[in-house]
Amino acid sequence: MGLFDRLVLLATGLVAAYLVWYFITEQRRATGEANHNCYYALSFAVLLVAGLLLIAFGYGVLASPLVVIVAALIPLALATGLVSQFFPQHARAYLVFALAGLLLIALTRFSGPSGLATAVLATVHSVAGLTIFFVPLLVVRWGKVNSSFCLVTVGGTLIGIGGIALAFLKAGRPILPADLIFAILAPVLFLMAVSFAIGFVRGARP
């Protein structure tokens, strides 16, 4: 990993740290039940830690099963937050899915065959990614938030593509050349973080 990648990852970490602060502040200001802020804060806290690990240890750290499991919290927590915020009647069911998905990822990473582990990871990432993709578009269309919230969809698309590409790369069935994946990974993470920041902060109001 070169200096450019480390600088971009550092910038990504700063954006993630800002979002953690933002959602903690929003949670403190909330007068009613606002669990979605906690899910969002968790997601960006994990992104911050993941970015720092990449800076310290390089892309080789992505080979660790533990890192793969923890990184899955980013899309799962984001998706759970979106459902909790805009479809609270389904929040408990989606939380059960997220926890079950995380457990299956952990079990297959440490004890399952690589093909099954990849299939489980890709499936869980896909469901979370589709949630992050469609929910912002729906709530913008319904007028619950303003059009800037569509950038959450952009961030969700980037995180979904990145997660699936890394999963297939680890399984030995890369959908993109490994050199290309690692060349664009840091910029993709930065663009994802910025998209989420603008989408959540500027798009939060109708």
pLDDT at 172: 60
Nearest-angstrom CA–CA distance, 194 and 151: 9
Q: Determine the pLDDT at residue 43.
A: 94
Note the CATH architecture for domain 3-202.
Up-down Bundle (1.20)
pLDDT at 160: 75
User: What is the pLDDT at residue 96?
Assistant: 96
CA angle 88, 45, 9 (to 5 degrees): 130
pLDDT in the model for residue 95: 95
pLDDT tens for 120-175 read 887 888 899 899 999 999 999 999 999 999 999 999 888 877 766 666 666 566 66
Predicted confidence at residue 108, as pLDDT, reads 86
Contact between 115 and 130 under an 8 Å Cβ cutoff? The reply is no
| Cα distances (angstroms) measured from residue 154 to each of 30, 129, 149, 151, 203 | 27, 10, 9, 5, 13
Can you give the pTM of this predicted structure? Answer: 0.89
Q: Are 91 and 83 in contact (CB under 8 A)?
A: yes
* List of the chain residues with pLDDT < 70: 32, 112, 163-176, 178, 205-206
